[in-house]
Amino acid sequence: MATSELNAAQALLAWYEAMGVDEAIGEVPLDCFATPALEPAAPEAPSPPKSVAKPPRQSIVAARPAASDSLPDRSAISQALSLAELEAMVAAFEGCALKRTAKSLCFARGNQEARIMLIGEAPGRDEDLQGKPFVGRAGQLLDRMLASIGLAEEHVYITNTIYWRPPGNRTPTPQEVEACAPFLARQIELLSPDILVLLGGAAAKSILGTSEGIMRLRGKWLTYQCAGSSIATLATLHPAYLLRKPEDKRYAWRDLLMVKEALEPK
């Protein structure tokens, strides 16, 4: 095989993997462009005698497909007394269809006693492979952003609004976000951070229950109600967005300075 053909084949396989096609169906490759061989026509069956009555037609009732997403039991979730116990509940949950297409559960990474909790939208390919949120290119940029204000992984706790990668990195559906929302609410409650940082418009809209865009939400302190108390909340631009539009990093830098100031002793 020529080098150019080999490179093209490798690029195609990489694209298939990024789109979520990671399993072969058959053992023998198929040529989709081959002309199918004509099968010999089956001999016609003799006509039944006119005196033979046809059997009565039987009605066939199709089984109704089961719902792909179902809401978890909030009362059971509220009984989780630790983040490890909550993670086990999420791992056992079968109500989100994304679990059946993802490789790994991406629950969280960071310090379970951190003062800062960061929430993004959904795991991507690298996160699905490693089982941790924000470990790909966007996660590496996030780590550098945090380091710019003196924070490392041991100072923060990072998760997403959903815990499994959507196929092909598509946008999560409202049903998928809703299925994970009770777990995330309990996750925030158990961590009880001083500051909540929402990465991107999708996370901000989901957590805050608003329809405003990220540019209108960012740059100001908001509040998230949790177990009868208010958590200082800041929405900012998602690192994946900043990779596409690096000129907007100046806005994220201003938001980071707000976080740094809030962490300084009064």
Q: What is the pLDDT of residue 66?
A: 39
- Helix, strand, or coil here: 234? strand
Q: CA-CA distance, 41 to 34, in Å (whole number)?
A: 21
Instruction: Supply the DSSP string of 120-144, one letter for each residue.
Output: ES---HHHHHHTSSS-SHHHHHHHH
The whole-number average pLDDT for the span 110-137 is: 98
- Taken as a whole, the chain contains a residue count of 266
Under CATH, what is the fold of the domain 74-263? Uracil-DNA Glycosylase, subunit E (3.40.470)
Domain ranges for the chain: 74-263
Q: What is the pLDDT of residue 62?
A: 34
Q: What is the 3-state secondary structure (H, E, C) of 176-221?
A: HHHHHHHHHHHHHHHHCCCEEEEECHHHHHHHHCCCCCHHHHCCCE
What's the token pair of residue 157? 């706790």
* pLDDT top residue among 184 and 14: 184
* Predicted pLDDT of residue 63: 34
- The Cβ of residue 246 has, within 10 Å, a number of other Cβ atoms equal to 10
pLDDT in the model for residue 39:
52
What pLDDT sits at residue 228? 86
Residue-wise over 43-82: b if at least 16 C-beta within 10 A, else e? eeeeeeeeeeeeeeeeeeeeeeeeeebeebeeeebeebee
For residue 144, the tally of other CB atoms under 10 A from its CB is: 10
- The pLDDT tens digits for 3-41 are 777 777 777 776 666 656 655 555 555 565 565 555 555
- Asked if residue 56 has pLDDT above 60, the reply is no
Average pLDDT on 157-177 reads 97
Which pTM was predicted? 0.75
Among 23-32, 51-60, 186-195, 242-251, the range scoring the smallest mean pLDDT is: 51-60
| Cα–Cα distance list, 196 to 124, 158, 222, 252, 263 (Å) | 22, 10, 9, 15, 12
Pick the range with the lowest mean pLDDT from 50-54, 96-100, 103-107, 141-145: 50-54
Q: What is the pLDDT of residue 17?
A: 67
pLDDT single digits (tens) 84-117: 999 999 999 999 999 999 999 999 999 999 999 9
- Cβ burial of 135 (10 Å; 0-12, 13-18, 19+) is buried
At residue 230, φ and ψ (nearest 5 deg) are -110, 135
8 Å CB contact between 204 and 210? yes
pLDDT of res. 57: 44
The tally of CA atoms less than 13 A away on the side-chain side of residue 128 is 22
pLDDT tens, position by position, 209-253: 999 999 999 999 999 999 889 999 999 999 999 999 999 999 999
List residues bridging with 224 in a β-sheet. 231
